Chains A and B, each alone.
Chain A
């Protein structure tokens, strides 16, 4: 079979507003949110009863019952029940990775259309019984006689009832993501003021985008929320400057609740297809997914920061596409923490780091800050892990479309486990 590839088109997106943890969506499950998000997408693009090639989505925090989360959501949605689906999970990279997977199948002609998405809830997060209890219960389950069973049950101790709450921490270091980011922030000497500035800009830009109706065809209200709950349009440098650091140690600590993303609940979905498919359905093409790259770093022993993998992925992507870092009209760098964005930009400008760590002849150079996260990002919108990729892809695709044909955008998303997913979109 001759392999001919084509660029997958991004038709549009839908997400529900992101809610703060244990707030509006406290009672909504991942499946509820993903289903509602799919239905909103169906309504926007008239896909009732339609079979799309594949739906690919995932969640970072997942219940055991959600083993087939995406397919179950499809079955509960207004899409045709004969639409196949599968789950993916790559921590905070899940949403973008899902889009890349769908785009690749479209590029290869294996599907004509697909939906990529992601969802996460930190309110309805799974809680596991602790390891001792699990072993004790497994023993009860495997006991053959009543006597054996009673004996096994009698072995259960009060301490075993304590549940294991999922923590936002790295299994191999025991450090939270914020603590890791704080180490990187200190290493790269990222100051408090510049982090606060980035955070305030994120809120202002997101609020302005809402006000000009930018999200009218990207967001569908859910459970009484029609804008992201975390958004503070009146956020100011003075206000965020008063917040106490929550990550990092001592006087040098710079990371506060204001310049770090809060725990959030939400879901997003992006509709992709071949150009021909979009045209045959009368659907718009906002942009194309040109290429993507993942990378991973050894943050355990290798001395690299946990969230620095995108810094490594981007030069590979640029080289393959014959582009420089300055060849973009827009940049979307996921704001896990303000310091992460700033460290990323600083690293690309650092000649020694680019030579020694990235193995480049010259630094990638600066990113024009006026082209960065122009409609806000995760600091303002919030960051329901797997849902962030879909939010960014749809937002950037629409921005590029508004800017006119031939505009190029770069997406960079860091993820737990020392991973990163980056991609290029072009209108």
Chain B
């Protein structure tokens, strides 16, 4: 749906007025389009301490066709303004080294373009050799989140944690964070856990040759996921309730896929999904659990039916389907599952005890299932959307919606495609090094950050 205020704030008069009044100035975000260069300008790469990723970063950027400006902070005064600032912070030994972080970032970020990217690479605090090193590593988290809040004009800052021996899978995630695919991912942290990541041979069709199933695909975020996976080369099976079959057929026909009318909470849903994918398309590689419902009520007024239907569809069904998938011989070659959670499951939300419980459950499930998929070289992750402009949120009262939309660092709601891009990434081999993670697509929602 349209965001009239963002459009106004970006018009001639609107720019003047919003500037003078100090009103929010939501930017038009840089979003991915096939064929687009990874970045609209050069990248600056620096390091704090003796990091181990610098050369690798420079090489992978050059591979991706990005011009890399010199490593020293001093040089960024001249030349083209950078579209991305990357900091290798894997060399931190203690809080003293953080001065180097500041020294590099401050001048570089100052010169960052619109819709720019700040990406800091660090080590997870858990593996630190000393309390001082753990402190410095943990410090990055607060620092990056704060930078994200200070950035303007559609720029984002994120933190990628690269434990030892996961460096091989670095390229995909770095590309994701720099690209327009991560437009609405801001102030987040992702930890690599494996070395299996691999950037696609065919950049335009990273999912070529795969068969993907998307539940709840008749409309909203699910329909956007189906279109994005199709764009990226997957053959897509779209699933939704039989009562949504007409919209589902339209989506299926739009992505040249097949429609499977199925209530995912049925006992045999998993088997029917596998049977359909394998019989019609010969294989099954990716399952996206997107179908979800809300039945809001304050806890004290919540009837059992509301409670059970939300738990039933949002988490019980996913668990049951996953069990069937994991038991199936047809889901054994780098199988990937991506679940849609919600920021409500992290921060909580008034009137959504049932929903937040179910979405919290999704995150728990994802973490615990990761090793099971890892056994087959696969992965499972969750994406937690914040405020996304869909039919669901369009039905909110005007004032509530206006407020909810602005309560994030990008000062606007996300588009269904923003969630879809994150999911397409996590469903691809480029994200092979990521499993058991929850990636928020929320523009750095100010609530429960």
Q: How far is the CB of B356 from chain A (nearest CB, A)?
A: 30
The 0/1 profile, CB within 8 Å of B marked 1, for residues 28-40 of chain A is 0000000010011
In the complex the two chains form, is B253's CB within 8 Å of A213's CB? Answer: no
What is the bound-complex CA distance between A283 and B256, given in angstroms?
15
| Interface-facing stretch out of B46-54, B244-252, B358-366 | B244-252
B245, B258, B261, B282: the one contacting A46 at CB < 8 Å is: B258
Give the contacting residue for B246; candidates A36, A48, A215, A282; CB below 8 A.
A36
| Residues in B whose Cβ lies below 8 Å from that of A46 | 252, 256-258, 280
Partner of A43, one of B242, B248, B262, B279: B248
A418–B242 Cα gap in the complex (Å)? 38
- Residue A284 is within 8 A (CB to CB) of chain B in the complex: yes
Q: Across the interface, which residues of A come within 8 angstroms of B376, CB to CB?
A: none
**Using Cβ atoms and an 8 Å threshold, which residues of chain B touch A284?**
279
Q: How far is the CA of A215 from the CA of B258 in the complex (A)?
A: 17
Instruction: Indicate if B263 sits at the interface (CB-CB under 8 A).
Output: yes
Cross-interface CB contact of B245 among A48, A49, A221, cutoff 8 Å: A221
Instruction: Find B258's partner among A43, A78, A222 (CB 8 Å cutoff).
Output: A43
The answer to the question of B320 belonging to the interface, with a C-beta cut-off of 8 Å to chain A, is no
Contacts of B246 in A (CB 8 A): 36, 40, 220-222
Is A63 in the interface zone, CB < 8 Å from B? no
Question: Nearest Cβ distance between residue A321 and chain B, in whole angstroms?
Answer: 30
Kindly state whether residue A226 has any CB partner on chain B within 8 Å: yes
**Residues A220 and B249 in contact in the complex (CB < 8 Å), given A215-B242, A282-B281, A284-B279:** yes
Nearest-Cβ distance from residue B334 to partner chain A, whole angstroms: 22
A221/B253 in contact, CB under 8 A = no
Are A282's CB and B280's CB within 8 A?
yes
Whether A48 and B253, one on each chain, are in contact in the complex, defined by CB atoms closer than 8 angstroms, is yes
Within 8 A of B (CB), among A205-260: 213, 215-217, 219-222, 226
Complex Cα distance, B256 from A196, in Å, reads 46
A45 within 8 A of B: yes
Whether, in the assembled complex, B266 has its beta carbon less than 8 Å from a beta carbon of chain A, the answer is: yes
Q: Tell me the nearest residue of chain B to A36, going by C-beta.
A: B246
Interface band, chain A: 20 to 34
| Neighbouring A residues of B252 by C-beta, 8 Å | 43-44, 46
User: Across the interface, do B242 and A40 meet the contact criterion of CB distance under 8 Å?
Assistant: no
Taking the closest CB of chain B, its distance from the CB of A43, in whole angstroms, is 4
Give A46 to B282 CA distance when docked, in angstroms. 13
In this complex, the member of A43, A48, A217, A226 whose beta carbon has the largest number of chain B beta carbons within 10 angstroms is: A43
CB-based nearest A residue for B242: A216
Contacts of B282 in A (CB 8 A): 282
Residues of chain A contacted by B243 (CB below 8 angstroms): 221, 226
Task: Check A42 against B279 for contact (C-beta < 8 Å).
Answer: no
Of all chain A residues, the one with the shortest Cβ separation from B280 is A282
Q: A282-B279, A282-B280 are in contact. Are A43 and B259 (CB under 8 A)?
A: yes
Docked complex Cα distance between A36 and B246 (Å): 9
User: Residues of A contacting B245 with CB < 8 Å?
Assistant: 40, 219-221, 226
Chain B, residues 278-308, CB within 8 Å of chain A (1/0): the string is: 0111100000000000000000000000000
Given contacts A226-B243, A282-B282, A284-B279, contact A220 B253 (CB under 8 A): no
Distance of A334 from chain B, by nearest CB (Å)? 25
Which A residues from 264 to 299 make CB contacts under 8 A with B? Answer: 282-284
Task: Specify which chain B residues have a CB less than 8 angstroms from the CB of A215 in the assembled complex.
Answer: 242
Which chain A residue lies CB-closest to B278?
Answer: A282
B258: nearest residue on chain A (CB-CB)? A46
Which residues from B are CB-within-8-Å of A42?
A: 249, 253
For the complex of A and B, the 10 pairs showing the least CB-CB separation, nearest first, are A43-B249, A43-B252, A43-B259, A226-B243, A46-B258, A220-B245, A48-B256, A221-B246, A78-B253, A282-B280
Binding site for B on A (CB under 8 A): 36, 39-40, 42-46, 48-49, 78, 213, 215-217, 219-222, 226, 282-284
A-B contact pairs, 15 of them (CB 8 A): A40-B259, A43-B249, A43-B252, A43-B258, A44-B249, A46-B256, A213-B262, A215-B242, A219-B242, A220-B245, A220-B246, A221-B246, A282-B280, A283-B280, A284-B279
